[in-house]
């Protein structure tokens, strides 16, 4: 299973593979464009402070859901998500539901991985299980 961090593609527990010239190695077309749209253009700009999602990864499942549901996050969205993750982590949460204005994310705080992403319409009629915290961002 691969997950995406802000510096490229990193298989969980594996070696970092960096995008070259804005493309993702081994992938083409719409998937690469979608993946690149969630990655900030300047990764170093979001590293560091408590208000950044430094180290937050997106699982393949989450990236696929974002692609299929047309969900994109701006750098400001990513910063708010990072703040929400930090709040949940500070309270000792392990698996968290993050609720935003237009989307929701399930995040495993143990490995700082976004497990899945839903848009506002997918929130209706859903039951969220195996979470121990919810944070509005």
- Per the document, the length of the chain is 137
Q: How far apart are the first and last CA of the chain?
A: 27
Q: Which residue has the higher pLDDT, 27 or 65?
A: 65
CB 41 within 8 A of CB 7: no
Q: Is the dihedral of CA 123, 124, 129, 131 positive or negative?
A: positive
- For residue 38, the model assigns a pLDDT of 57
CB 50 within 8 A of CB 86: yes
Say if strands 57-59 and 113-119 run parallel, antiparallel, or are unpaired: parallel
Please write the tens of the pLDDT for every residue from 7-28. Answer: 444 455 555 444 444 444 444 5
SS3 of residue 11 by DSSP:
strand
- Read off φ and ψ for residue 54, nearest 5 degrees: -50, 130
- For residue 123, the model assigns a pLDDT of 84
User: What strands lie across the sheet with 103-108, from one edge to the other?
Assistant: 8-11, 2-5, 57-59, 113-119, 103-108, 95-99, 133-136
Does pTM top 0.95 for this prediction? no
């Amino acid at each position: 299973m691969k997950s995406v961090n802000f510096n490229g593609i990193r298989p969980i527990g594996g070696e970092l593979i960096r995008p070259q010239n804005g493309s993702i190695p081994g992938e083409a077309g719409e998937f690469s464009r979608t993946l690149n749209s969630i990655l900030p253009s300047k990764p170093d700009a979001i590293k560091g402070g408590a208000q950044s999602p430094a180290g937050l990864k997106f699982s393949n499942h989450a990236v696929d859901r974002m692609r299929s549901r047309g969900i994109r996050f701006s750098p400001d969205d990513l910063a708010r998500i990072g703040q929400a993750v930090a709040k949940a982590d500070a309270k000792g949460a392990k698996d968290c539901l993050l609720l935003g204005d237009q989307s929701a994310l399930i995040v495993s705080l143990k490995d700082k991985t976004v497990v899945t992403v839903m848009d506002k319409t997918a929130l209706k009629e859903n039951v969220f299980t195996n979470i121990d915290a919810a944070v509005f961002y």
